Structure 1
Amino acid sequence: MHPATTPTAGAPAGRHHRTPLSRRRVLRGLAAVALAVPLALTAAGCGDDDAGDGGPIKISVFWWGGEARATLTEDALALYTKKHPEVTFEKTWQANQGYFDKLATLTAGGNPPDLFQIDDNYLAEYAGRSTTLDLGGYRDSGKLDVSKFPRSLLEYGVVDGKLAGVAAGENTQGLVYNKTLLVKNGLPEPTTGMSWEQHIAWAEQVAKKTRVPGTQDPSADYKAFWVWLRQQGKDLYKGKELGFTVEDVTTWFELWKGARDRGATPTPDVIHQGNATDITKQLVVTGKAATSWVWANQMPDLKKNTKDELGVVAYPGDPSAQWARASMYWSVFKGSKHRDVVVDVINFLVNDPEAVALLGTDRGLPSNTDLRAKVSETATDPAMKQSIQVEADLAQKFGPSPQVPIKGHSKVKAELTKAAENAQYGRATPAQAAQQFVAACTSAIA
């Protein structure tokens, strides 16, 4: 499950998610969108149908999340209506599971939402099929104010030169560790900037002293693999192709085989538990490892599942390989009859002080850095303060953003887990698992 998206509860009555569709069916739906959009644009013309006539406007909005996010979002939209009485909202939300199946069904069926939440698993896919409105003109005119966004956060919404999505919040990778365990045993805490080898040696030391493996094996974690690649001068993707080779993956898998052999990580069965996306199963809170590889904004949820004090630093290696990542985006349907108003709603959600204060950090840290500082000042949750602080520290070290992941990214992530676990369980050598992974990825993005 995507970071900052874990539902606190299922969808309410009337918002049940559908049985997940096959990827082929989803793609057929998106293909239908590509045919439907030009017709919608012809009907919509170049501007809003209701622009300038003072008539009522209803904007449909679709997002995923739990009841807490629903309440916050509905409150923020109600605030917009209070300031713009002519605009009301048709609001739909559901749990994460099945969300993108439903979005594809809505767009293919000719009933797309005007404004919808999306993540980097699918942004390039929807943008590539002309489903999303290019927001670049609104940015250039100042109608969409992104002047307070970190540059790499803004750039991470650009697909093929077009601004396809605006970051609803910021996130970055975080190495979360059990501070209580380390202090109790007189062990040093990990630090930002330590090399990968230093991290593994530290984890081995922790395991020997505490009998708790020092680190979860992240060889199945695309976030860790991606950061490591960027530190090698590579990337996850390059244009429409993979940005890495079989040799790169082999080196990555061999690095963690060495860590397993040294006892720095748990056994494969426990590693498998940690590979689950459920935040409650992360090894740093189940006590089965001293560190977990997560997103920095997951600190509060992790803290809810342990009595121990937690710390968070950057992933090992040069921290400039990390970047200001959009935890998720707001995108506009290209065929919306109310495009100007919908863009103004996005501008309101990310830049209005009252709206940003209402939304808080549910979707990640506020994209507007001035307002982020104000949210930080009023935050009462110590774990959230840690999340904000580590990103504030890393913001001084962030490198340029990579390109938005290409179509097939979700499959690439799944195949990495499959290949890494083959290597972890000894079903394949690192080289064999790497070959399997690259072959499967090449097919996935074709």
Structure 2
Amino acid sequence: MVKGWSKSFGLLMLVMLLVLTACSGGSNSNTPANEGEQSTEKPGNEGDKGAGAATTLSIMWWGPDARHEATKKALDIYTKQNSNVTFKPEFMAWDAFWQKLPTLAASKSITDVLQMDAAYLQEYVSRGQLEDLSDIDLTGIVDPTVISNLQIDGKLYGIPLSQNAQGLAFNKPELEQYGIPLPHKDWTYDEFFQWARDARAKLPEGKYPIGDTTTWDSYNYYQTSMGKPAVMSDGGKTFTLDKELFMTFYQTYEEFRKAKIVPPAEKAAAFLENDPQADPMASGVVMTRGATTGSVSALEQLMPGKVGVVNLPVGPSGGGWAQSTIFLSVSANSKNKDEAKKFLRWFITDKEAGQALGLSRGIPINPDIYKELEPTLENKDKLGKELYDLSLDKALPFYPPAAGFSEWVDTYKKEMEAVTFGQQSIEDAFNKLEKMGQELASKAGSK
């Protein structure tokens, strides 16, 4: 009995010893288990939630109602496919968007995802407000040349959404009614100006062949087409406002105001694009106006079947531009960067989203998405593609305002409006703009 009990006791003690050893793990409680192995769990990214965790992405964009509705449909599709992700959307008109964004930037509360325009991209990058998106794989989706052209210091801060171009829309039936030849592809600035003079002679009182211009980019198209540098280059460190070209360009428009080839200043100041009553072209007052691949469809909706398109006038170096100008970016202060980046790639690759978005932001950057859409496009949509195709071969790069030049851009418009109202001379306006531009360039160069 004793011998049997002793044997059983020994076996029991052995089992207990093994159990205790297994429970202890052989490690100090302050030392991680499997110390020589790396964890397969991805570290959080500035507060990013783990995979599958409930996430709300805030997102804001600008645009017309059609864009708002299309984008909301796409967001619903994403949530349907990714049930852990919902959205807090904000959408508004262009002016309201750019009035609100600086306030958000100042408080470091920009939405996780935001629509961004080429005109402002560099400015917000220079302030450290946007996240580097170079790690998003766009192979086979976006042409490498497009990506290269969009990089800033070798990094990508916006995922391009569409191919865009700047051209000119015209009122085709009215020009034909008055026996005015339709604008033609690759017309030169000399041909454009002469066309306006000839058209004036055929139009009745109160109608004008072209509109006036007071914005810096309209002049910049002219300067660069003549082989001169962009007004701002090298990140704003170089400023070139060619006086001879500046005087020629605006003296031509001064002649046009006197000859009633462009509307008087009071009438021009009251125009409001895409408003049925106040749009210069849709209202029947002006026969032509600037348009992009994205905006021309809105104009076509105001005057169905009446809109023709042509590329901007060209010079020896070409003219206008045709490239990506609208993007989705991620805030540098977002706590959901990984999910936001995943969403950005999805936005330009998912076919269901592509159908919902249509051409609400222009010609899709992904050629596969455009091929899916092409058979179903209406005339208003095809006009954008026509404008892009007409502009492509002579297009120059898109030149956005350099960082730090936003005040100069506003001043330019103010000074040139003063010229149109006869409140100052063209040369006085040039001298003010030249002085301010050189001071800003010097400041940029000293940083």
| TM norm. shorter chain > 0.5 | yes
Note if 1:425 corresponds to 2:418. Answer: no
Amino acid in the other structure paired with 1:57? T
Equivalent residue of 2:294, what SS?
Answer: helix
TM-score (norm 2): 0.78
Structure 1 vs Structure 2: percent identity of aligned residues? 24
**1:386-409 per-position Cα deviation (integer Å, ceiling 9, x unaligned):** 12222133334434x345432244
8 Å Cα contact 2:314/2:394 also seen in 1: no
Match runs of 1:161-172 below 5 Å: 161-172=154-165
Matches of 1:439 and 1:224, distance apart in 2: 20
Equivalent residue of 1:190, what SS?
Answer: coil
1:20 is matched with: none
- Misfit runs of 4+, over 6 Å: none
Unaligned runs of 5+ in 2: 1-41
1:24 is matched with: none
Matches of 2:420 and 2:105, distance apart in 1: 41
Matches of 1:108 and 1:213, distance apart in 2: 44
Matches of 1:221 and 1:107, distance apart in 2: 26
Matches of 1:132 and 1:428, distance apart in 2: 41
Match runs of 1:21-170 below 5 Å: 47=45, 53-138=51-136, 142=137, 144-145=138-139, 147-149=141-143, 151-152=145-146, 154-155=147-148, 157-170=150-163
Amino acid in the other structure paired with 2:413? T
Matches of 1:48 and 1:215, distance apart in 2: 52
Equivalent residue of 1:283, what SS?
Answer: coil
Equivalent residue of 1:316, what SS?
Answer: coil
Note if 1:196 corresponds to 2:196. Answer: no
2:211 is matched with: 216
CA displacement at 1:367 relative to structure 2: 1.7
Match runs of 1:273-292 below 5 Å: 273-274=270-271, 276-277=272-273, 279-280=275-276, 281-292=278-289
8 Å Cα contact 1:227/1:321 also seen in 2: yes
CA displacement at 1:155 relative to structure 2: 4.8
**1:345-379 per-position Cα deviation (integer Å, ceiling 9, x unaligned):** 11111122211221112222212233224323311
2:16 is matched with: none
Over 3 Å counting, the alpha-carbon distance change for 1:302 and 1:55 in structure 2 is closer
1:407 is matched with: 403
Amino acid in the other structure paired with 1:369? P
TM-score (norm 1): 0.78
CA displacement at 1:277 relative to structure 2: 4.9
Over 3 Å counting, the alpha-carbon distance change for 1:66 and 1:389 in structure 2 is closer
8 Å Cα contact 2:322/2:398 also seen in 1: no
Matches of 1:155 and 1:269, distance apart in 2: 44
2:174 is matched with: 181
Equivalent residue of 2:302, what SS?
Answer: coil
Equivalent residue of 1:321, what SS?
Answer: coil
Over 3 Å counting, the alpha-carbon distance change for 1:260 and 1:108 in structure 2 is closer
Matches of 1:308 and 1:96, distance apart in 2: 26
2:338 is matched with: 340
Note if 1:236 corresponds to 2:234. Answer: no
Amino acid in the other structure paired with 2:294? N
Over 3 Å counting, the alpha-carbon distance change for 1:56 and 1:225 in structure 2 is same
Which residue, out of 372, 382, 385, partners 2:382? 385
**1:319-367 per-position Cα deviation (integer Å, ceiling 9, x unaligned):** 8433334442211112333323211211111122211221112222212
Matches of 1:146 and 1:416, distance apart in 2: 41
Matches of 1:366 and 1:130, distance apart in 2: 28
Amino acid in the other structure paired with 1:74? K
Over 3 Å counting, the alpha-carbon distance change for 1:301 and 1:409 in structure 2 is farther
CA displacement at 1:314 relative to structure 2: 0.8
Over 3 Å counting, the alpha-carbon distance change for 1:56 and 1:48 in structure 2 is farther
Which residue, out of 281, 289, 294, partners 2:291? 294
Over 3 Å counting, the alpha-carbon distance change for 1:363 and 1:307 in structure 2 is closer
2:10 is matched with: none
CA displacement at 1:426 relative to structure 2: 2.6
Matches of 1:199 and 1:92, distance apart in 2: 41
**1:91-119 per-position Cα deviation (integer Å, ceiling 9, x unaligned):** 33344443344334334435432111122
Matches of 1:424 and 1:101, distance apart in 2: 26
8 Å Cα contact 1:279/1:302 also seen in 2: no
Matches of 1:299 and 1:429, distance apart in 2: 34
Matches of 1:188 and 1:46, distance apart in 2: 63
1:311 is matched with: 308
Which residue, out of 344, 355, 358, partners 1:357? 355
**1:278-324 per-position Cα deviation (integer Å, ceiling 9, x unaligned):** 55433222222221123243223223434671211011114843333
CA displacement at 1:164 relative to structure 2: 1.5
* Larger CA deviation: 70-79 vs 259-268: 259-268
8 Å Cα contact 1:191/1:313 also seen in 2: yes
Matches of 1:439 and 1:97, distance apart in 2: 28
Matches of 1:252 and 1:45, distance apart in 2: 58
CA RMSD in angstroms, aligned pairs only: 3.0
